[in-house]
Structure 1
C-alpha cells in the first residue's frame, strides 16, 4: 500500500537531530505540524524556534476504511472502539502492520541522513499516532532494525493496542524483574506472532540491553475527551516494565477539544525532553 509523502519542516541551522511525529486518526502530517507548531512553550516560542538544528518529519497515513464510521478515514489502522480497545481488535492488525513497516523505513532514511546516529532520531505521536509509534519501536527491536537507543520516544494522549495481552504476559513470574532484554523481546515478539499479517518472523538475535535505555516521555490529560487517561496509564505500566528511563506526566485543562497537550506546560516538558 502506498503512503503519501511526509510533511517536512527543515532545520533552521545545520541539521543535527530529527523528530518523527505521527498524527492521530482523521488528521494528516501537515495538519498535525501546523497544530503542533502553533503551540508555544513558556517563553512564547514554538518548538522549531527553540531547536533550530532539528528536522521535523510528519508522515501521513493512508486512507483506510473505518468499520465504525463506515467510510474511508486517514488513519494508521482501523480502531473499532476507544471505549473498549479490546473489542474487535483483530481489525487493527492489517493497518498496524503496514503502518509500522512504513515508519521503520522513515526512521532508517532519517538515520542515514545523520550518518546512522539513531541516538539523534526521535519517534513519537499523538493518539493513534502514539499507538503506531510504540509498536514501530517494538517491531524495530524484534527485527534488529534498531540495535542501539533512539534519542527518545514521545507518547502523547494515546494508548497501546493489545495492551491487555501484553500486560498479562509481563505479569508472569518469569518477568518479575522489570527492564530486562527478555521482557522487551517478548513484547516485540508478540507483534510478529499475533499482529503482523506479513508472515515475517522475528530475527533470531539477542536484544542489546542498551536499547532499553531509549528515553520515553508519556503525557496524557486526566480529562481527555477522546482517549481515557486509564488507557494512557495502562500503556505507561507496560512501558515501565520494559524500558529503564520513562517520564510520565498527567495534566488537566488542555484545549483543542480536550485531546491535546496542555500549553505551555506540556510543551515545556517536551522541549526539556528533547534537549536532554
Structure 2
C-alpha cells in the first residue's frame, strides 16, 4: 500500500466475506473517525449498517495531511479546495491532490477486488463531502482497475470538481467525463466503458451549510444527462447542522441500495 498514506481503517465482516464498501472521509476528518460516526447511526430498524450486513468488509482510507492556505494550517484532506462557496475558485489547485489521492484510492480498490476474486459488482465506492468528490473522480478513472461495473457508487453531502465543464454539450454517455478526468490526472482511459453502468446513490441535506445542496443537484443533473442509473435523496434536519446523513431515512436508503446489489446483478 502507498507509503505516503496512512493504512486504511478496516471493519472486518462477522461472517464469510462477500462484499466490500470503500468509503472516503471529508476534509479535516480521517478513516477511523468517519467509521465511528457512520456506524454510530442506525436505520429505522435500530441497527447500524454492519449489523445489517455481516458479510461486508468496510474499508475507510485516510488521506494525507495537506497545507491549506485558507485556514493557514495542515488538514487531513484529499486535495486542496480553496472555497466551497465558489468551487471554481483556484480550481486548478485541486488537480495535484486529486492526482495523488485518486491513484491511492484506485490502489485500494484493486486490492479489494483481488480479495473478492475480481467480482467487481461486489465492491462499492463512495464518500462524504470532499470524500465524495474524490470517490467520483476515482470512479471516472477506474477503467484500469475495473473490467465491468462496480456494485455501486455512493455520495453524501458532496460535489464534483470541475462539474461546470459538463453542464452543456453531449456527454457521450459519460465518456466525456472519463476522458476529461483521466487526462487531467495523467492516467489512461480504457476503451471498456462498462464501469459507467454502475448504479449511483447520492444523498444531501437541503439545509447543509457547508456544501450547498445545489452542488449535489448539479452532479445529479450531469449524471442523468449522461444516461447513468442514479438515485437522489434530499432531506432536512440531519445531525452536524445538516452536513451529514439523516438518520434513519438516509441510512435506510443506503441499506436498500447496498442490499439491492444482488438483485441488480441478476437482472
TM-score of the superposed pair, with normalisation by structure 1: 0.90
8 Å CA contact 1:212–1:243 kept in 2: the answer is no
Equivalent position to 1:184, from 167, 174, 178: 174
Aligned to 1:135: 137
Q: Return the offset for 1:258.
A: 1.8
Aligned to 1:61: 63
8 Å CA contact 1:24–1:129 kept in 2: the answer is yes
Q: How does 1:207-246 map to 2 (within 5 A)?
A: 207-208=192-193, 210-246=194-230
TM-score of the superposed pair, with normalisation by structure 2: 0.93
8 Å CA contact 1:220–1:232 kept in 2: the answer is yes
Question: Given the alignment of the two structures, is residue 271 of structure 1 paired with residue 261 of structure 2, yes or no?
Answer: no
Aligned to 1:117: 119
Question: Given the alignment of the two structures, is residue 20 of structure 1 paired with residue 22 of structure 2, yes or no?
Answer: yes
Equivalent position to 1:10, from 12, 22, 29: 12
SS at match of 2:38: helix
Output one character per residue of 1:175-212: Cα deviation in whole Å (capped at 9) or x when no partner: 2xx7xxx342211111233x32xxx3524x4233x323
Q: Distance in 1 between matches of 2:253 and 2:243?
A: 17
Output one character per residue of 1:43-86: Cα deviation in whole Å (capped at 9) or x when no partner: 11000000000000000000001121111100000000000000
Q: Return the offset for 1:240.
A: 1.8
Q: Distance in 1 between matches of 2:24 and 2:195?
A: 21
Q: Return the offset for 1:238.
A: 1.3
Q: Distance in 1 between matches of 2:87 and 2:216?
A: 12
Unpaired segments ≥5 residues, structure 2:
261-267
Aligned residues: 258
SS at match of 2:240: coil
SS at match of 2:99: helix
Q: Distance in 1 between matches of 2:163 and 2:101?
A: 18
Structure 1 residues 4, 227: CA separation in 2 closer, same or farther (over 3 Å shift)? same
Question: Given the alignment of the two structures, is residue 152 of structure 1 paired with residue 152 of structure 2, yes or no?
Answer: yes
Q: Distance in 2 between matches of 1:214 and 1:19?
A: 14
8 Å CA contact 1:64–1:77 kept in 2: the answer is yes
SS at match of 1:188: helix
Q: Distance in 2 between matches of 1:72 and 1:166?
A: 32
Unpaired segments ≥5 residues, structure 1:
none
Q: Distance in 1 between matches of 2:154 and 2:225?
A: 17
8 Å CA contact 1:130–1:159 kept in 2: the answer is yes
Question: Given the alignment of the two structures, is residue 202 of structure 1 paired with residue 204 of structure 2, yes or no?
Answer: no
Equivalent position to 1:249, from 230, 233, 253: 233
8 Å CA contact 1:2–1:62 kept in 2: the answer is yes
Q: How does 1:25-104 map to 2 (within 5 A)?
A: 25-104=27-106
Structure 1 residues 232, 128: CA separation in 2 closer, same or farther (over 3 Å shift)? same
